[in-house]
Amino acid sequence: MKFSIIIPVLNEEKNLIQNKPFLNKLKNTLNAELIFVDGMSRDKSLMISRTLSRKVYIDTAARSKQLNTGGRYAKGEYLIFLHADTKLDDLAINNILKISNSYKWGFFNLQLDDTSWKYRILSYCINLRSRLFKYGTGDQVLIIKKDIFKKIRGYKDIPLMEDIEICNRLKNLYLPEIHHGKSISSARRWKARGFFRTILLMRILRLLYFLGVDPKKLELIYK
- If 0-12 CB within 10 Å is exposed, 13-18 middle and 19+ buried, where does residue 71 land? buried
Instruction: Quote the percentage of the chain above a pLDDT of 70.
Output: 100
Q: What is the mean pLDDT of the chain?
A: 96
pLDDT score, position 80: 98
Lowest mean pLDDT among 17-21, 26-30, 206-210: 206-210
CA distances from 211 to 43, 138, 163, 202, 208 (A): 38, 21, 17, 14, 5
Q: Mean pLDDT throughout 144-162?
A: 97
Domain-by-domain residue ranges, the chain? 3-192
Q: Mean pLDDT throughout 121-146?
A: 97
Dump pLDDT digits (tens) for 156-204. Answer: 999 999 999 999 999 999 999 999 999 999 999 999 999 999 999 999 9
Query: What CATH superfamily classification does 3-192 receive?
Result: Spore Coat Polysaccharide Biosynthesis Protein SpsA; Chain A (3.90.550.10)
Dump pLDDT digits (tens) for 75-102. Answer: 999 999 999 999 999 999 999 999 998 9
